[in-house]
């Protein structure tokens, strides 16, 4: 509200235009106060608890099993029927047209006509692993030895056939751009446990393309919750090292002056989350200059650990490095670490594609799970492996498989999960999820629940609506079943 009594119009306001400009800020604040009541209450609660830093650790809605997340995304869509969902019936029907009982609507084929579609069996051999006897293909023999720590969900589904919208849905709960990604929601709800590193870090074993930017953005959440990208080789974090001719003391004084100007500038622009994030990042980057070199220096890791992650082999070294960095990050309090492995889009020679890709990640992922468990970190670290969809049981072109969002697999481990479980099922050909179906919204709700967050209460008011990651879904929460012995 504008304080007219304290406003000396003769001395402070030179024109009617200036008066309206000044008072307009006050009148607008009245309306904005109503729209942002929940955000203000959230900020006030954090401030009352001494949490002026938006990335400071927050309080979950209820006690969670997990504290950190390592989210492994297999971009392109791995074939579930060649990895974690064995279908013996495909071997019997191999090379034949789809049986008469098959309904065209069971698959949304892009490049093959349903009446011409021929079944293609998986060339992979499935083996039962561990005491649980979970069947996993020979693409993941190393991971198979961790079977008793895994919960394999074979009934994931959604309705987006195209990569872009499917990826958006998997990461943000919406096919549309501009929504916060899963990691941003988690850090918004829980903050970070580290003062020296970002709360949300994204890493890839290859180049991150422009289209990947949406995979770690904060959308309509304040910009401070977006991911920081790290590289798999060289200097992990860009622009951290100061010029060699600037001493630490000089840089400290320069930063203090810069922060003084920035904060004064921010006083008149408190609704600019990008500016707030930029100010916070200056402070964080200064702290990271001392902490990041130690984080990314893997030379101190024992040779046995380096071999465990496959750093001694050219085929596995790239993904092994980011897996090892992910372990080191969660050790240091990074809340959400996102790993990418691209090129799973097997429209031609699907088996060759999968042999190459699985060969690069099988040992590093098994090494990560083993290492986390040995260090007592697996119980508090939720590890998730998933692609944007699965693939069809019918052949496309030269030994390829088309996209299939109607039934595919993912697996989770750690974060309080009692492994050795298989949840849900697809039909006998692997076309559609038919038992205990798990939509992407259900998967998000489950992950948030394991972290102690109620997906219906983790909301942000924007455009007149309380938005949430799970939209209007997410009511098949698997967390209780996953953590039950």
Composition of the chain by helix, strand, coil, percent to 5: 40, 15, 40
Average pLDDT over residues 283-311: 81
- Residue-averaged pLDDT of the chain: 85
Tell whether the model's pLDDT for residue 282 goes beyond 50. Answer: yes
- Containing H/E element for 303? helix 303-308
Residue 280 within a domain: no
Tell whether the model's pLDDT for residue 5 goes beyond 60. Answer: no
Residue 216 within a domain: yes
For residue 441, what pLDDT is reported? 98
Exposed, middle or buried, 25 (CB in 10 Å: 0-12/13-18/19+)?
exposed
Cα dihedral sign for 87, 415, 406, 365?
negative
Residue 261 within a domain: no
Q: How confident is the model at residue 485 (pLDDT cuts 50, 70, 90)?
A: confident
Write out pLDDT tens, residues 28-79. Answer: 444 444 434 444 444 443 343 333 578 888 899 999 999 999 999 999 999 9
For residue 33, what pLDDT is reported? 46
Tell whether the model's pLDDT for residue 421 goes beyond 70. Answer: yes
Report the greatest alpha carbon distance in the chain.
Answer: 92
Residue 345 within a domain: yes
What are the C-alpha distances in Å from 273 to residues 95, 147, 254, 285? 57, 43, 23, 18
If one counts the domains in the chain, the total is: 1
In angstroms, the CA 402 to CA 408 distance is 13
Write out pLDDT tens, residues 76-127. Answer: 999 999 999 999 999 999 999 988 777 766 777 777 777 788 999 999 999 9
For residue 266, what pLDDT is reported? 64
Residue 266 within a domain: no
Sorted by sequence, the CB contacts under 8 Å of residue 349 that are 6+ apart come out as 398, 399, 400
For residue 283, what pLDDT is reported? 64
Residue 78 within a domain: yes
In angstroms, the CA 93 to CA 393 distance is 10
Sorted by sequence, the CB contacts under 8 Å of residue 328 that are 6+ apart come out as 295
In angstroms, the CA 309 to CA 304 distance is 9
For residue 108, what pLDDT is reported? 74
Q: How many CB atoms lie within 10 A of CB 424?
A: 21
DSSP per residue, 287-346: HHHHHHHHHH-GGGS-HHHHHHTTTTSHHHHHHHHHHHHHHHHHHTT-SEEEEEE-----
Q: Return the percentage of the chain with pLDDT > 90, whole number.
A: 64
How many C-alpha atoms does 254 have within 13 Å on its Cβ side?
10
For residue 100, what pLDDT is reported? 79
* 375: helix, strand or coil: coil
CA 28 to chain centre: 36
For residue 194, what pLDDT is reported? 84
Helices (H) and strands (E) in the chain, counts: 14, 17
Bridge partners for 152 per DSSP: 411, 422
pTM of the model: 0.84
- Closest Cα partner for 180 from 209, 221, 137? 221
Residue 136 within a domain: yes
User: Hey, which of 37-41, 231-235, 350-354 has the most confident mean pLDDT?
Assistant: 350-354
217 vs 85, more confident: 85
Write out pLDDT tens, residues 131-162. Answer: 999 999 999 999 999 999 999 999 999 999 99
Tally of residues, the chain: 485
Sorted by sequence, the CB contacts under 8 Å of residue 171 that are 6+ apart come out as 73, 181, 182, 214, 215
Structural domain containing residue 469 = 56-237+299-483
277 vs 117, more confident: 117
Residue 277 within a domain: no
Residue showing tokens 């083996």: 127
Q: How confident is the model at residue 260 (pLDDT cuts 50, 70, 90)?
A: confident
Bridge partners for 73 per DSSP: 340, 386
Tell whether the model's pLDDT for residue 231 goes beyond 80. Answer: no
CATH number at residue 217: 3.40.720
């Amino acid at each position: 509200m504008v304080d007219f009594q304290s406003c000396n119009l003769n001395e402070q306001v030179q024109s009617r235009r200036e008066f309206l400009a000044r008072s307009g800020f006050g009148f607008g604040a009245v309306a904005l106060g109503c729209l942002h009541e929940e955000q203000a209450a959230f900020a006030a609660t954090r401030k009352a608890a001494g949490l002026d830093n938006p990335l400071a650790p927050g309080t979950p809605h209820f006690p969670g099993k997990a504290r950190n997340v390592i989210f492994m995304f297999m971009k392109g869509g791995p074939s579930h029927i060649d990895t974690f969902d064995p279908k013996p019936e495909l071997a019997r029907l191999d090379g034949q047209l789809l049986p008469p009982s098959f309904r065209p609507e069971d698959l949304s084929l892009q490049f093959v006509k349903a009446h011409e579609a021929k079944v293609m069996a998986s060339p992979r051999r499935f083996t039962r692993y561990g005491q649980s006897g979970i069947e996993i293909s020979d693409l993941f023999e190393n991971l198979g030895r961790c079977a008793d720590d895994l919960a394999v969900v074979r009934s994931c589904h959604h309705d987006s056939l195209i990569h872009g919208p499917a990826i958006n849905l998997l990461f943000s709960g919406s096919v549309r751009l501009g929504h916060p990604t899963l990691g941003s929601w988690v850090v918004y709800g829980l903050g970070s446990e580290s003062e020296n590193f970002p709360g949300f870090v994204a890493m890839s074993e290859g180049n991150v393309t422009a289209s990947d930017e949406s995979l770690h953005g904060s959308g309509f959440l304040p910009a401070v919750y977006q991911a920081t990208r790290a590289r798999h080789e060289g200097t992990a974090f860009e622009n951290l090292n100061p010029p060699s001719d600037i001493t630490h003391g000089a840089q400290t004084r320069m930063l203090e002056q810069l922060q003084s100007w920035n904060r004064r500038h921010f006083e008149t622009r408190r609704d600019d989350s990008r500016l707030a994030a930029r100010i916070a990042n200056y402070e964080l980057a200064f702290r990271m200059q001392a902490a990041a070199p130690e984080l990314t220096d893997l030379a101190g890791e024992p040779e046995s650990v380096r071999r465990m992650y496959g750093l001694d082999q050219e085929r596995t070294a790239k993904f092994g490095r980011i897996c090892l960095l992910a372990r080191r990050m969660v050790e240091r309090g990074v809340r959400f670490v996102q790993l990418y492995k691209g090129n799973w889009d097997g429209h031609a020679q699907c088996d060759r594609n999968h042999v190459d890709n699985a060969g690069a990640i099988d040992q590093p992922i098994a090494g990560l799970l083993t290492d986390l468990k040995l260090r007592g970190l697996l119980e508090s670290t939720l590890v998730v492996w998933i692609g944007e969809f699965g693939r069809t049981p019918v052949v496309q072109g030269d030994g390829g498989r088309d996209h299939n969002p109607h039934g595919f697999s993912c697996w989770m481990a750690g974060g309080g999960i009692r492994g050795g479980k298989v949840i849900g099922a697809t039909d006998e050909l692997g076309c559609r999820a038919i038992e205990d179906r798990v939509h992407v919204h259900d998967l998000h709700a489950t992950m948030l629940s394991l972290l102690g967050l109620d997906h219906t209460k983790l909301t942000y008011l924007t455009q007149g609506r309380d938005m949430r990651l799970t939209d209007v879904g997410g009511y098949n929460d698997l967390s209780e079943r996953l953590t039950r012995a």
